[in-house]
Amino acid sequence: MCDDQFTRSYWYAVARIEDLPEGRPRATKLLDVDIDLLRTQGQATATTRPSDGQAIHLPTKEQYGHVWTTLSESPRDLYAMPEFEEPGRRLVTAGAITVSCSGLRVVENFLDMAHFPFVHTGILGEEPHTDVAAYDVELREDVDEVWATKCEFYQPKAAAAAEGGQLTRYMYRVAQPFSTVLYKTCPIREGAWDLIGLFIQPKTQTECDVHSFVLVFDDSNSDNALLQFQQMIFMQDRMILENQVPSLLPLDPRLELPTRADASSIAYRRWLKAHGQTYGVLPQA
């Protein structure tokens, strides 16, 4: 049972839209609650499946290629990504990959550029280009989001469409405790950002389904090539995530390392702590 009101106040992606066709129900879990998903008369429905008591119909919405639901009666608005409306972009959704760790760990790993040369060797980074240059981190109070901007990293193959190495510019956005989006220099369109995002569905405190998407300008790669690139990168991360100890995220400030590379991680943890995040968090000793 999740009594963390901050966590409960958000919408969560629970399936890709095309994975919930008419007449093919799916069983899933969100914040320790068993949920049945079904599409009837075109409408996605989500119903709790309690071991005792009455089933409850949850609100649903379909956006950003996914079916979303929430345990809150008055959820926060799902965050805006106007890029989804831009003509010429291609959306590839990679499906849910299960990871045995806190979903907060997945977000934190996503924010960490220092792991690129070691986990995504030859793709998102390579030795000796291991230094993480200074970048800006801010809490945007109007939307209650954490942003890291002016990030730069040398990448041998930054995207499926990248030809050769480049200094890639990044922005990271944490719009929800369990969701994060990367804005990254588009290799083929000047001034545009490509988006790569994770919609994390915390099933329990230590297990999550990670729904990811790629929203890019790319004239040369097939959807399947984009999909495989994304899945390859994520599976490299998964291996690291499942080996992290503890699998819950510590928020104790004494466990924070004040290095530059960790600036976004520190801001993220502080933001969670300020909101009283307990779900997926290592209890204080």
Q: Which helix (H) or strand (E) holds 169?
A: strand 166-176
Residue 112 interacts with another protein (CB under 8 A): yes or no? no
- Of residues 5, 63, 98, 220, which one binds another protein by CB under 8 A? 98
Residue 93 in the binding site for another protein (CB under 8 A): yes
In this structure, the dihedral spanned by the alpha carbons of residues 250, 113, 193 and 10, taken in order and rounded to 10 degrees, is -10
Near another protein by CB under 8 A, which window of 78-86, 166-174, 217-225, 266-274? 217-225
Which residues, including other chains, have CB under 8 Å from residue 190's CB and lie 6 or more apart? none
Distance CA 267, CA 174 (A): 10
One-letter amino acid at 230 equals: Q
What does the block give as tokens for 14?
Answer: 């629970």
- For another protein, the binding residue among 22, 32, 242, 252 (CB under 8 A) is 242
**177-214: b or e for each residue (b if 16 or more CB lie within 10 Å)?**
bbbbbbbbbbbebeebbbbbbbbbbbbbbbbbbbbbbb
Question: Does 43 help bind another protein (rule: CB under 8 A)?
Answer: no
Contact string (CB under 8 A) for another protein, positions 2-21, x = contact: --------------x--x--
Q: Judged by CB under 8 A, does residue 100 bind another protein?
A: yes
- Choose, by CB under 8 A, the member of 34, 228, 244, 266 that binds another protein: 228
Among 43, 63, 243, 259, binds another protein (CB under 8 A): 243
CB closer to another protein out of 152 and 207: 207
Site for another protein in 166-195 (CB under 8 A): none
Return d(Cα 91, Cα 213) in angstroms, integer: 7
Phi, psi of 92 (to 5 degrees): -125, 125
Q: Which is nearer to another protein, 175 or 197 (CB)?
A: 197
Q: Which residues contribute to the site for another protein (CB under 8 A)?
A: 16, 19, 93-98, 100, 119, 121, 209, 222-225, 227-228, 231-233, 235-236, 238-239, 242-243
